[in-house]
Chain A
Amino acid sequence: MKKSKLALAGVAALSVVTLAACSNGSSSSSQPTTAVKMPQSYSGSGKIDQNGTIKAAEVNDAPFKGLTDEALISNAEDSDVFGPGLQGLFNTDKNYNYKDGGPANIKLSRAAKTLTITLRSNLKWSDGSPVTAKDVEYAYEVLGNKDSTSQQFSANLEKIKGMTAYHQGKSSTISGIEMPNGEKGKKVVIHYTAVNPSMTHSGNGFVWEYAEPYEHIKNVPIKKLASSSEERKTPLFYGPYKLKKVVEGESTSWVRNPYYWGKKANAKAVTINVVSTSAAASAFKSHKYDFTVGIQGIANSQYPNVKKLSDYTNVGTPQLGYGYLGFMVGHMDSKTGSNVMDKSSKVANKSLRQAMAYAMNTDAVEKKFGNGLGKRATTLIPSGFSQYHDKSAKGYPLNIKKANKLLDDAGYKKKGKWRQTPDGKKLVLHFAAMKSGTTHEQTIQNYLQQWHKIGLDVQLTGGKTMEMNAFYDAIQAPKPPKNVDFFEAAWSTGTEPTPTMYTADAPFNMGHFVSKENTDLINNINNQKAFKDSYRKTQFNKWQEYMNQQAAYVPESETLTWTPVNHRVKNFTYSPAHNNTAWAEYGVTSSNPK
């Protein structure tokens, strides 16, 4: 037993040493790219078999939960397996801006501070009943009800007039939601206390993008909706497929929704099975599935096993998220609910943070351990947002020389092996990182090694990577624990990139970085001038540059969402311009995966 442990440690150490040997101490690349290039779509060839069945895999080690309603779902796997029926109300363009032509259109009025949602006249639930204004309105009731079990209710929704009173139980209706043509009508007008440019982007949090089948669930108390049979056994959808059968936690099967508003779905049926991460690569090797659904597909570590599969093409797109390092530069004042900077923080010195970022070997790490599917992130706006990501940003490429100079200039002099604080005290930095796969352990060891190289005594919090709950307990504490000076985490932005996580009162600004300039820049991104897109883009760029320069949060890595797509599939795409209607467009040309 002891021997095997030593052997494992040896392998890990060897990998790190080899990696370090590959690096030359500096990197010239300014715009990193993933080593692996994948197309965003696979259009396929041949004639679609209208009687075909799409066989998709949901790669996950846990059974899905069986919630069919986006308002109540709090995990990705339920959204994935019920995807063929769950369609958003609004189509988008390639930059996630709302676009007419979907199940509903949406129009913003700056003058009236309203959003008007107009449903298609032929939009129907899978039982043939029409989708009405009440169905749109009721979704807000489900979200905002004081007894609701939904985790989706947000501060943005409270910008709807009357929502706070409804949420607190002081009112039985939401006064700011109007149905001009009555409950059975097709129009909903939502009145806001203020409107901003993010409201024209999908995923903004001010607009709920799904409807609830009011007539179907009106007799179920909202509190009990999640466990009701209406929600779990007989749900209604207005997407291209209707649910035929759900095997709890394992699979869903679908048939064409005869009442679908658009062109009928290209496949006769769809089945989605949960496949374990350990078996996913084998499943595709034996041609069991056409593609994976959702963001989390086959693990990147399994990519070498499926990269050259015959009859499959790997399709991918940048994930709308990134890994980052967060420095504990302050704390959250629990009384005011605002973050406050601490001058006494061990990582309060900007040069120290910048030096640590320059010492990181992220390019090589991503190439080596990410199997070419990841890349170094250069800003806190992911490159997937081509409209707002600053392509000129360099981020923090490896530069040991610069890192040493920054520390020397800031007064962090070496005494023996390690550097001391500018006032001559011992400096030990504690790094909190979450336990993940083997390659992540190696990545963390590599970072430690790099920081040691510039003379910084960095140690893992508790001496090892942390279990998820313990990790979040530590970094979400209003006052950071003494043994956490900085941490590594990941952030998913959603489809609207306003950096809400970094505002002064954001609870997930876990490093507690606050500055007037940061607040101003974030506000500028969504002020009234920002309705002009060039202005908004400039503000996004300024914010990215400012945050990079402050290095309180250092962008670390980005990766791809990807899947092998079988060659019998037609019209597969990750394009945001087709996301909402993608399931209707997918088709297959033969009865089984090739």
Chain B
Amino acid sequence: MWKTVLRRVLIMIPEVIVLSVLVFLLAKAMPGDPFTGSIGPHTSAAQIHQLKVQAGLYNPWYQQYWNWVVHLFHGNLGTSFQYQEPVTRIIGERAINTVWLALFTMVLTYAIAIPMGLYAGRHQNHIGDNIIRVYTFVTMAIPPFVILLIALWIFGYVLGWAPTTGSVSATASGTMGTVLSRLQHIILPGLVASLTGTVNIVQYLRSEVIDAKHSDYVRTARSKGVPTTNVFRHHILRNSLLPIAAFAGYSITGLLGGSVVTEMIFSYPGMGLLFLNSISYRDYTVITALVLLYGLLNLLGTLLSDIILTAVDPRVRVQ
């Protein structure tokens, strides 16, 4: 097992190198640069040229790439053109916001989806199952941004139950006050995101349970007189959760991904919005750092998922 993990980690090294070259080249291949559109009544073309020279934007790509790699090994991901701050500091600030929201959303998503999926599967075609199915179809049919806007309007603006913008109140003070304010700010976006996020898990789990109910091992258990509750708890539940477990690794590493739509609507400065804006503004240093980070997280997510699957399913043994 540990050998396998080590081997997988070693394989990741060339993968990350190739990824970084590709990312760097693709970022440079996009039209424009960080100074595109910097036009004002007194903007000096010579000054913009000088700033580009300072930033090394006229150097050949391989030289820019090498400089970037050297800096990377010194823990320096460069300075954002847009923010004029070290990239590590910006990502650090945004990552905190994103993790708060994503963790809350993930916990809530699983807390809602697993009982719902199990209930719907167990009570197939009963009224409860029908209600859950209607809920999933309706939620799936409406684009998430519409749900987010409606929720913001009703709970944020009309009822005034939740903050409508940002990750923390401008007037929050003290550690406790800040933490409470942060929690308040993630409740509405987190709740809505989790309600829309449950759909796939509920449907997946429901069909897994229904499949499992008709499998041979369940029939055998029933014929041996095992009580229904025990059949569900010990036989169906564990097997039905396998696909969910397989995705758990991605979910954990995906915590840093952020959600562009949620962040934009709630003016919540997270990683998703940072990534989108850095692409729009050709903020190369941020783009390359984020893509590399996401690439690494994806590779780790795959590994983590395999490990989790191995742990929960005795049939799967990684050699």
A496 touches B41 (CB 8 A): yes
Q: What does the 1/0 interface line of A237-274 toward B look like (CB < 8 Å)?
A: 00000000101111111000000000000000001111
Cβ of A517 under 8 Å from chain B: no
Say whether B4 faces chain A, with CB atoms less than 8 Å apart. Answer: no
A96 at the interface (CB under 8 A from B): no
- A63 to B37: give the CA distance in the assembly, Å: 19
Q: Is B265 an interface residue (CB 8 A)?
A: yes
Question: What residues on B are CB-neighbors of A285 within 8 Å?
Answer: 157
From A61, A149, A251, contact of B84 by CB (8 A): A149
Complex interface bits, B27-67 against A, C-beta within 8 A gives 1, otherwise 0:
00011110111111111111110110010000000000000
Please choose the segment from A127-135, A184-192, A468-476, A549-557 that sits at the chain B interface, where 4 or more of its residues have CB less than 8 A away.
A468-476
Q: Mark out the residues of chain A between 189 and 239 whose CB falls within 8 Å of any chain B CB in the assembled complex.
A: 203, 205, 226-227, 232
Of the A-B pairs whose beta carbons lie under 8 Å apart in the complex, a sample of 9, sorted by A's number, is A65-B82, A67-B84, A156-B42, A226-B84, A226-B85, A273-B165, A276-B266, A278-B149, A473-B32
Chain A positions within 8 Å of B48 at CB level: 151
A507 touches B (CB below 8 Å): yes
| 18 more CB-based (< 8 A) A-B contacts, given A151-B35, A153-B44 | A151-B51, A205-B41, A232-B85, A247-B170, A248-B269, A249-B93, A251-B165, A271-B171, A274-B165, A276-B267, A278-B264, A279-B165, A279-B267, A468-B280, A469-B31, A470-B32, A492-B40, A494-B42
Contacts of B83 in A (CB 8 A): 65-66
The answer to whether A500 touches B38, judged by C-beta atoms less than 8 angstroms apart, is: no
Contacts of B31 in A (CB 8 A): 467, 469-470, 473
Assembled-state Cα–Cα distance A278/B152 (Å): 11
CB distance from A544 to the nearest CB of B (A): 17
Of B45, B50, B156, B265, most buried by chain A (CB within 10 Å of CB) is B45
A247–B41 touching, CB < 8 Å: no
- Per the bound structure, the CA–CA distance linking A279 and B273 in Å amounts to 16
Q: Which residue of A lies closest to B55 (CB)?
A: A149
- Smallest beta-carbon distance A37→chain B, Å: 28
Contact with A along B207-228 (1 / 0, CB 8 A): 0000000000000000000000
Within 8 A of B (CB), among A428-480: 467-470, 472-473, 476
For the complex formed, measure the closest distance between the CB of A283 and the CB atoms of chain B, giving whole angstroms: 6
Contact B269 A151 (CB under 8 A): no
B286 → A minimal CB distance (Å):
12
Contacts A62-B273, A151-B48, A226-B85; is A500 near B264 (CB within 8 Å)? Answer: no
Q: List residues of chain B with CB within 8 A of the CB of A13.
A: none
Q: Contact between A72 and B164 (Cβ–Cβ < 8 Å)?
A: no
Known: A279-B164, A473-B31. A203 touches B157 (CB 8 A): no
Q: Among the interface residues A467, A469, A494, which one has the most CB atoms of the partner chain B within 10 A?
A: A469
Interface residues of chain B: helix, strand, loop or mixed (majority): loop
Q: Are A250 and B32 interface neighbours, CB within 8 A?
A: no
Report A139-167 CB contacts with B as 1/0, cut-off 8 Å. 00000001101011111100000000000
A74 on interface, CB distance cutoff 8 Å = yes
- Taking the complex as formed, is A508 at the interface, i.e. its CB lies under 8 A from any CB of chain B? yes
Question: Range of interface residues on chain B?
Answer: 35 or more
Interface string of A278-295 (1 = CB under 8 A from B): 110011011010000000
Candidates A147, A252, A492, A500; contact of B170 at CB < 8 Å = A252
Evaluate contact between A273 and B166: CB separation under 8 angstroms: yes
Known: A282-B152, A469-B31. A227 touches B41 (CB 8 A): no
Contact, CB under 8 Å: B84 / A286: no
CA distance A470 to B164 in the complex (A): 35
Q: Indicate if the CB atoms of B51 and A469 lie closer than 8 Å.
A: no
A104 within 8 A of B: no
Do B264 and A61 touch (CB < 8 A)? yes
Out of A152, A227, A274, A501, which one reaches B79, CB within 8 Å?
A227
The answer to the question of A275 belonging to the interface, with a C-beta cut-off of 8 Å to chain B, is yes
Chain B residues in 8 Å Cβ range of A275:
164-165, 267
B134-169 residues at the A interface, CB under 8 angstroms: 145, 149, 152-153, 156-158, 160, 164-169
- Establish whether residues B32 and A247, one from each chain, have CB atoms under 8 Å apart when the complex forms: no
Residues of A within 8 A of B39 (CB): 508
**Does A472 contact B269, Cβ atoms closer than 8 Å?**
no
Q: Report Cα–Cα, A564/B143, bound state, in Å.
A: 30
Interface, chain A (partner B; CB < 8 A): 60-63, 65-67, 72, 74, 146-147, 149, 151-156, 203, 205, 226-227, 232, 245, 247-253, 271-276, 278-279, 282-283, 285-286, 288, 467-470, 472-473, 476, 492-494, 496, 500-501, 507-508
From residue B186, how far is it (CB to closest CB) to chain A in Å?
Answer: 13
Chain B residues near A500 (CB-CB < 8 A)? 41-42
Known: A151-B51, A282-B152. A472 touches B170 (CB 8 A): no
CA distance A150 to B160 in the complex (A): 42
Task: Please tell me if B277 contacts chain A, counting CB pairs below 8 Å.
Answer: yes
The answer to whether B133 has its CB under 8 Å from any CB of chain A is no
Most buried by B among A72, A232, A250, A472: A250
Pair A251/B43 contact, Cβ less than 8 Å: no
CA gap between A66 and B38 in the complex, in Å: 18
Partner of A279 from the list B79, B85, B152 (CB cut-off 8 Å) is B152
Q: Are B267 and A492 in contact (CB under 8 A)?
A: no
- Which residue of A has the minimal Cβ distance to B178? A247
Q: Is B206 interfacial (CB 8 A cutoff)?
A: no
Say whether B273 contacts A63, CB under 8 Å.
Answer: yes
Q: Given contacts A151-B43, A286-B158, A467-B31, is CB(A66)–CB(B36) below 8 Å?
A: no
Contact partners of B158 in chain A: CB under 8 A? 286
Q: How far is the CB of A475 from chain B (nearest CB, A)?
A: 11
Q: Determine if A493 and B41 form an interchain contact, defined as CB atoms under 8 angstroms apart.
A: yes
Residues of B within 8 A of A508 (CB): 39, 43
Name A250's contact: one of B37, B41, B44, B167 (CB within 8 Å).
B167
Nearest A residue to B154 via CB reads A282
Are B41 and A286 interface neighbours, CB within 8 A? no
**The 7 nearest A-B residue pairs measured at CB:** A469-B32, A226-B84, A205-B42, A286-B157, A507-B45, A251-B170, A250-B166
In the bound complex, residues from chain B placing their C-beta under 8 Å from that of A468 are 32, 36-37, 280
Q: Which residues of B contact A273 (CB under 8 A)?
A: 165-166, 170, 267
Interchain CB contact under 8 A, A274 and B84: no
Which residues in B have their C-beta under 8 angstroms from that of A469? 30-33, 36-37, 280, 282
| A152 in complex: contacting residue of B42, B84, B145, CB < 8 Å | B42
Q: Does B86 contact A (CB under 8 A)?
A: yes
Q: Is the CB of B51 within 8 A of A494?
A: no
A494, B266: Cβ atoms under 8 Å? no
Contact A278 B265 (CB under 8 A): yes
A246: nearest residue on chain B (CB-CB)? B170
Given A149-B51, A149-B84, A279-B267: A203 and B41 within 8 A (CB)?
Answer: yes
**CA distance in complex: A146, B89 (Å):** 25
A248 to B33, CA, bound (A): 25
Least distance between B116 CB and chain A CB atoms (Å) = 28
Which residue of chain B lies nearest to A205 when distances are taken between CB atoms in the complex? B42
Closest to A287 in B: B157
Would you call A251 and B166 a contact (CB within 8 A)? Answer: yes
Instruction: Give every chain A residue within 8 A of B30 (Cβ-Cβ).
Output: 469
From the candidates A232, A247, A472, name the one contacting B37 in the complex (CB within 8 A).
A472
B304 smallest CB distance to A (angstroms): 30
Contact A65 B84 (CB under 8 A): yes
Closest residue of A by beta carbon distance from B168: A247
Contact flag A63-B170 (CB < 8 Å), given A273-B165, A470-B31, A472-B36: no
A286 pairs with B160, CB closer than 8 A: yes
Cβ of A62: which chain B residues have Cβ within 8 Å of it?
Answer: 273, 277
A469 to B32, CA, bound (A): 5
Q: Which residues of A contact B265 (CB under 8 A)?
A: 276, 278-279
**Residues on B with beta carbons closer than 8 Å to the beta carbon of A227:** 79, 84-86, 89
Give residues 270-309 of B contacting A (CB, 8 Å): 273, 277, 280, 282
Residues on the B chain within 8 Å of A245, using CB: 170-171
A72-B164 Cα distance, complex, nearest whole Å = 30
